[in-house]
Structure 1
Amino acid sequence: MTRKKKGARGRRPRREAGDEWWPRRYADEDWPHLVDMVLSWSLEDVMDEDLFKNKLKRIPSIFNDIKSYLGSYTSPLLEELRADMSSSLEAISTESFVKVAWIEQTKYSAVYNIAFEADSQNTKSCNKSESNGRSVGDIIILSDVKPENISDINCNGRPYYIAFITDGADEDDDSPPASYVIRASGKIDAADEVSEDGKRRPLFAAHLLNIVTYIRIWRCLDYTTVRRNQNLIQEMVQYPRVANILPKNAKGVASIDSMEIWSELSTMDLNNSQNDAILNCISAMLCNSSSSLSLIWGPPGTGKTKTITVLLWLMRKLKHGTLTCAPTNLAVKQVASCFLRLSKENPLDTSCLGDVLLFGNKHRMCVGDDLKEIYLHDRVRKLLVCFAPLTGWRHCLSSMYDFLENGYSQYLRYSEEQKEDNKPSFLHYTRKKLDSIYPELRRCFKQLLFHVPKSCILEVNYNNIISLLELLEDFNTHQRKTTGVEIKEVFLYKDVPRKSSMGILPKTVITIGKTRIKCLELLKMLLSCLKLPITSSKRTIREFCMESASIIFCTVSSSSKVTSNKKLELLVVDEAAQLKECETLIPLSFPALKHAILIGDECQLPATVVSKVCKDALFGRSLFARLSSLGHEKYLLNMQYRMHPSISIFPNTSFYGGQLLDAPSVMQKEHQKKYLPGSMFGTYSFFNIEDSWEDVDELGHSRKNVVEVTIIQEILQNLRRGMCSVIMLFYYV
């Protein structure tokens, strides 16, 4: 690799404070692409803490209009992305560099196909395709060295390239892709440069971070092109200028009572505050023709997850499409698992779960057997066979129809093609044929009935499929008890009087013959009326699953993938106080949404913000916290089930104004634990560790305090020495 040519990426002049915060070449566009902006930055830009400092203003609590609301997050988002990249660059020496196997330019400028050498490093990832840390949306650094620090990358004008991975493995592929497509910050000389010995100069790639979530937020900030539910956005933007949608003591409770939701809730073992929160949220939905935004305040241990799952269970029963989001894959899995368990424990139809869908990053979600019934990746693989043109549902129906309608003529043609001594009897032929067709049809349609929503199959087709499977099971059972002569008469039976070689037909032949005719009628109806996909495309099947589901679980970021679903009218956001407000805009931008329920606790840790200036600008504040600070009504879950009163009294009085009640279960005798003597071994203790400092961990993503870790080790050692037997410590957190 040679020195950087004129005009290629190297050291560039610092930007002046008055420069635009996106490249001048995009100044005439309505809304630039975030990737283009990132690729326009130099390393000096990324490390410049003042790059956007003069552009940031404190985000207000009330906004005049939607445009000013969205605009208040643009500069903070760019600054946070810059700070995130800067943090990764500071830890560049700890990043895993991988050698580029080959790279070639495409017909598009600065777009390359690239392949990396195999990485044998051990990984805890669920899938090998993530072991190298490469996926669509990654920002990587390409250089001819493995740097020890940032300065090594462009030392003495050494060329480097910032690149964005635009294409790679399909979401449903289990193996890593052979190559990727990247967009680079400039022309990569190594792509066409060969040294004197005929070999290419080495090129290394280091992963910095994935910016998919940043891109999704950035798109939501585009005022001109993004379609939104204006009423819902207006409610959150201009609160409290917009009047509360549902006043207290509204008439909604009467309508709820008439729909017997009260009786449903009485079986769920909820406390009064949980019942009230659910009923008020449902009232706001059912009694408002426009939009509603509700807050449920869930301090630790107050049964927040159970409240959510009961609410979702009722939404499914009431046939309201609901999108449930959380900040992380782990939080999403927890809610989905509780919902699935509740659904199976209560009298709601669980023979079909096609309307319930869980999806997320398959490498990070690591779904276990309990959730595979509703997990998108597994559902796509199961439906792939059912929708395939040559083996799928239509092929199964056609094959069975042709066999039952023309079984005997098929046999005659088959016999003519066989040698005289190899000709099977018609009885043998029918049993062998049925053993081939029937199990495949049964397997296919059982998968369809479970994994495809009834709304897509339609009720009449659903019932016809159930009837068909029952009749085919009867036909399969009874035909095995017939003789060769009888089975021939069964296939020739027309349900009208005719001469037969058996004379008067036996009752069993007539019964089986009528079953065959009923099967033919149902098969013909299904072939005509059933409208399901016929495809071998995983992408098409994935889109079908997302568009047809009415109860969806996913992270807030990945919710951008279900924008085409028109059934989703309610948004439920768990751990809403841990999300930046602009992150919540991703699911809130769906035009079909009419209502939103935010569940969280602003007294707990907020969202992580890397940039100090962004923290000062309140970029990490959640929508839940902002609306709460403005006095938006929130329904408190006021009974805690986790802590003994001697522990709960501190957070209750310090953070929740003494509003929390202790559940009877934590007052029982088995919760009366004895503590070691000494003030430090009481219910809880606070220690001020002086002269300690924080370091960045090996990955550069988190901070650690080695002195605090040492103190904790000493405390645990003292505990061990203080007890002469095995110590059981119970922490209620």
Structure 2
Amino acid sequence: MTSFCVPLVEETHADLLSSMSTLSRAPTSVILDFKPAKEFKPPKDLFYNVELSILRKFEEDDGRKIENDDGRYEPEARDLIAITNVRPKCIADLERPDRSYVAAFVLNVKQERYLTILSSKPILFEEHNRKIRKILYAIPLINMTTNIRLWSALNSELAGGNLNIIQRVLQSRYPDSKNCTSCLLEENCSADFADMKSRICSSDLNDSQKDAVLSCLITKKCNHQNTIKLIWGPSGTGKTKTVGLLLFSLLRMKCRTLTCAPTNTAVLEVAQQLLKNVTESLEYGTYGLGDLVLFGNGKRMKIVDRHDLLDVFLDNRVKILQKCLVSSSGWKEVVKNMNIALDFLRSLETLLCTLTDADKGLKQVFGEKEQSRLSHIMKSSFVREDCLRLLNSLPQTFSVPDFTEEHNIKKFCLENSCLTFCTVSSSAKLHEVKAQWELLVIDEAAQLKECESTIPLQLPGLRHAILVGDERQLPAMVKSKVSEEAEFGRSLFQRLVLLGHKKDLLKVQHRMHPSISLFPNRMFYENQILDGPNVKERSYDRRFLQGKMYGSYSFINVAHGREEFDNSHSLRNMIEVAVASEIVASLFKGMVSLCRHCLWILGNEATLTKKFSIWKELVIDAKKRRCFYNADEDKGLAQAIKVALVEHNQIHTLLNMDSFLFRESRWKVSFSNDFLKSMSRVKNAVTCKEVLNLLENLANGWRQPHWKKNLFVHHGTSSQLLEQYKVNGFLNLVWTVDILKENSYYIQILKVWDILPLSKMPRLANHLDVLFENYTVDKMNRCKHKCLNGCLVVPMRWPIDSNISPNADPVLSLSELLASIGVRDDFESSSTN
């Protein structure tokens, strides 16, 4: 366990460094006041009471009214913050000689604005004089809660830490769990287990899911050994559904179970699945949900958006119990005699349904003095709802608690619950509760650092653990290079797999179209995963956008763009962003809400195939299956790429003969170095777009009308070929027709020489005069020849061995030779002029 301590410190350091690099975007709060706390004892115990502003607008030193555009800092206990007299844009702003800052640790928070902090060094109060003070800011860096809990777990500082499972698991050779023969025989003879087995076998789970649940339940009953079971659940194989039925079975068996997951989202999902099973069961609808407790940070969980989970959420339950049992509404008298209250609650539903006979019912449990008051209370619909809420909040059996304090109510709910749900980190709070858990279930266990598992594994009384996950999916994120080399991100699930521990495989996937599951199944799961009948149905084969590349599975090659760093020093590729945005916009226009049926992978083929990796295998696989496409083959994506390249000063990517702008055009286009240099100096996006549109039109055969004469008149050799088109009012695009040798043919191409103002045209023309004087008569004739297809000009081509007499009429000679041969086969019907 101590081997994790150094990597944990390194990872904490890396987290802090990462947050420092994004200081410019961090929320801030103005410190209105601070003073030493009672515990203030220099030089080490530098405790202060701090008051933060709750307003976003405040006044700077020079009297300017400013607003915190990044939002107000909302403090939490165990935040590590910086206190400074400037809102920093970078780390350097904190390190200037004329500006000082201190690091501080938030011990507790009251009413979101009053903090008690431990400072790294004294705060100078003289500078905080009301008349001459400078504004001080509190800026959050990182929250240390999880890291502190980890440190305590690794150093066995948890109260009543239970090391039984850890001592068995954390060995170089882990003995695989085997079902105890005596316990197995006892279970098979048990009527309760037989009934449970029958229920599981008759459920709608597939065979591999049923086997996994039964295997866990058999192991749970063993009292002779500590065990850990692994449920291997690849994506889409129904992990949550399987865990939901497992937990429901454990609830029926009255097994005190803690269910954890790395994230709030994962915890909420599994709690929701279990709650669904419970509420659909007739037998559990009779007395409510008091045996189920979900706890954690309600704000982070966004629990208000999960109305179905409010009944089991701890903070909400505490409010209900306080309202019903502590207020002066009459329940205080009921609580004084809890045994009578229990009988009353158990018969409450019947009592409420027969209010006409209420007097008789009340006489059986209460004295005469209480009857009139309770009769009045019970007739109120509002109180009736309170009664039902109270009934729903209490477990089946419990000891009489002291309900005068919120802390006691929370302990009461946790100590008497049968199934408890929280994140792995939050499970540290359960070590403060005087209760024991028998079994631990960790969902998404392969995304959890191994050291994090030690927090719930040390719970008092814990004898068995069930890890549900998939070590083939992404592991926990590690920022520190040192920690990464130490395999700090490896999960306990992966450790046991590497040691050869048996896994119960959920081997039927019900989520992905077979074309999506094909590659990962072959590469990661040795083709052990079967496609469920639902994904094989014809209705599962859906098309949400037009085009071959938008089938069930495709790799879309985004060959353009480059990676660059953003303001937070993270790499980004804005061309890939543009492509992704265009696809999402198209889906949005089509009102497509669910696609969890298609997988379109965007990436750069050249980058992904440089080294041998899983990405290279994926690209090769996509090509073999004819699922590989270039993004610019789609007109909408091509337009998005063009706009993005212009907006991000990457237009040079488009200015080459092989660019997708000209790949399918009638004319090949060649660009001079002078033109490329001139375009690199053009910063106006509108001008760039106009140039590209003009080039596309020219490459497809459009020419401006004859009445639009060139503004620059030149009489040199180049005047026979020179074309100049106006761009954005003051620039001129200068181009000519040129001849290119390709294979066994000469072909006409467009040669773009430059883009420049009219005043610089003479210099370019003189330069081209010298160049064209080296052209032979044949080459000049071929450059001047025009071939029309309707109103469009199309390029000509000639065999290399053809000769044209200098004295011959170039039009007649060429017409006789290849009168109507264009570069593209679709122009065979062209005519000559």
What corresponds to 1:237 in structure 2? 170
Displacement of 1:637 after TM fit?
0.2
Q: Which residue of 2 aligns with 1:294?
A: 229
Q: Does 1:454 align with 2:389?
A: no
Match of 2:563 in 1: 693
Residue 180, structure 1, aligned to residue 111, structure 2 = no
Q: CA deviation at 1:599?
A: 0.4
2:239 to 304, 309, 312: 304
2:319 counterpart residue number = 381
Q: Is the 8 A contact 1:393 1:441 kept in 2?
A: no
Name which of structure 1's ranges 621-630 and 680-689 shifts more when overlaid on structure 2: 680-689
Cα distance in 2 for residues equivalent to 1:333 and 1:614: 30
Where 2:106 maps in the other structure, the secondary structure is strand
> Which of 80, 84, 98 lines up with 2:11 in the alignment?
80
AA of the residue aligned to 1:555? T
Q: Hey, which of these two has a bigger chunk of strand by percent?
A: 2
- Supply the distance in 2 between the matched residues of 1:611 and 1:391 (Cα, whole angstroms): 57
- State the secondary structure of the residue aligned to 1:652: helix
Q: How many Å separate the matches in 1 of 2:428 and 2:103?
A: 26
Counterparts in 2 of 1:662 and 1:110: CA distance versus 1, 3 Å: same
Residue deviations 1:304-349 (CA, integer Å, cap 9, x gap): 1000000000000001001001111111111111111111112332
Aligned to 1:623: 492
Worse-matched range after superposition: 441-450 or 344-353: 441-450
Q: CA deviation at 1:152?
A: 1.3
The one-character-per-residue Cα deviations of 1:695-717 (angstroms, maximum 9, x if unpaired) are 4676x8x8654342123245668
| C-alpha separation in 2, matches of 1:565 and 1:120 | 43
Map Cα deviations across residues 234-270 of structure 1 (whole Å, 9 max, x no partner).
2220163435343899936625774422111134211
CA 1:397–1:181 in structure 2 vs 1: closer, same or farther (change >3 Å)?
closer
| Larger Cα-atom Rg | 2
Aligned-partner Cα distance in 2 for 1:432–1:231? 54
Give, in whole Å, the separation in 2 of the partners of 1:432 and 1:227: 47
Alpha-carbon distance between aligned partners in 1 of 2:524 and 2:374, rounded to the nearest angstrom: 72
Secondary structure of 1:295's counterpart equals strand
Match of residue 576 from structure 2: 708
CA distance in 2 between partners of 1:230 and 1:186 (Å): 39
The offset of 1:449, in angstroms, is: 2.6
Q: Flag structure 1 segments of 5+ consecutive residues without an equivalent.
A: 1-69, 122-129, 170-175, 411-429, 458-530
Q: Which amino acid aligns with 1:660?
A: I
**Does the Cα contact within 8 Å between 2:180 and 2:222 map onto a contact in 1?**
no
CA gap of 1:682–1:444, structure 2 versus 1, over 3 A, is closer
Partner of 1:143: 84
1:592 alignment partner in structure 2: 461
Cα deviation, 1:610-667, whole Å, max 9, x if unaligned, reads: 1122112111111111111111111100000011222211111111110001111111
Q: Which runs of 5+ in 2 are unaligned?
A: 58-70, 338-361, 600-833
**The one of 634, 640, 645 aligned to 2:503:** 634
Match for 1:576: what amino acid? A
Listed as ranges, the matches of 1:318-333 within 5 Å are: 318-333=253-268
Match of 1:214 in 2: 147
Moved more, 107-116 or 438-447: 438-447
After TM superposition, list the pairs within 5 Å mapping 1:535-574 onto structure 2. Answer: 535=404, 537-563=405-431, 564-574=433-443
SS at match of 2:97: helix
Q: Matches of 2:434 and 2:189 in 1, distance apart?
A: 28
1:502-548: CA deviations, max 9, x gaps?
xxxxxxxxxxxxxxxxxxxxxxxxxxxxx24231x222211221222
Query: Are 2:54 and 2:113, in contact at CA under 8 Å, matched by a contact in 1?
Result: no
Distance 1:281 1:578, change over 3 A: same
For residues 265 and 244 of structure 1, the distance between their equivalents in structure 2, rounded to whole angstroms, comes to 23
Q: How many residues align?
A: 548
Q: Write the distance in 1 (CA, Å) between the matches of 2:72 and 2:385.
A: 36
Q: Give 1:215's aligned amino acid.
A: I
Indicate the SS of the match to 2:19: helix
Match of 1:614 in 2: 483
Q: Distance in 1 between matches of 2:567 and 2:207?
A: 45
Alignment TM-score, normalising by the size of structure 1: 0.69
Of the three residues 268, 280, 286, the one matched with 1:345 is: 280
Partners of 1:115 and 1:276 in 2: how far apart? 57
Shift in Å, 1:135: 0.7
Aligned pairs (5 A) from 1:428-467: 434-436=375-377, 445-456=387-398
CA distance in 2, matches of 1:432, 1:287: 52
Q: In the alignment, is the contact (CA less than 8 A) between 1:547 and 1:562 conserved in 2?
A: no
Within a 5 Å distance, the mapping from 1:154-553 to structure 2 comes to 154-156=95-97, 158-169=99-110, 176-190=111-125, 192-195=126-129, 198-223=131-156, 227-238=160-171, 240-246=173-179, 251=184, 254-255=188-189, 258-350=193-285, 351-367=287-303, 368-388=306-326, 390-391=328-329, 393-396=331-334, 405=367, 407=369, 434-436=375-377, 445-456=387-398, 531-535=400-404, 537-553=405-421
User: Is residue 235–residue 293 contact of structure 1 (8 Å, CA) maintained in 2?
Assistant: no
DSSP-derived class of the 1:289 partner = coil
Deviation at 1:177, TM superposition (A): 3.2
AA paired with 1:72? Answer: S
Q: How does 1:653-668 map to 2 (within 5 A)?
A: 653-668=522-537
CA shift for structure 1 position 83: 0.4
Match of 1:133 in 2: 74
Q: TM-score, normalised by structure 2?
A: 0.61
Change (3 A) 1:243 1:683: closer
Corresponding letter in the other structure for 2:26: E
Partner Cα distance (1:570, 1:704) in 2:
45
Higher deviation after alignment, 256-265 or 615-624: 256-265
1:357 Cα deviation after fit: 0.4
- Compared CA separation, residues 298 and 182, structure 1 to 2 (3 A): same
Aligned residue number for residue 124 of structure 1: none
Q: 1:433 to 1:606 in 2, by over 3 A?
A: closer
TM alignment of 1:670-689, pairs within 5 A: 670-673=539-542, 676-678=546-548, 683-685=553-555, 687=557
Could you tell me how far 1:166 is from its partner in structure 2?
A: 0.6
Aligned Cα RMSD in Å? 3.3
* Aligned partners of 1:256 and 1:283 also within 8 Å: no
CA displacement 1:66-89 (0-9 Å, x = unmatched): xxxx11100000000000000000
**Larger displacement relative to structure 2 (575-584 or 238-247):** 238-247
Amino-acid identity (%)? 35
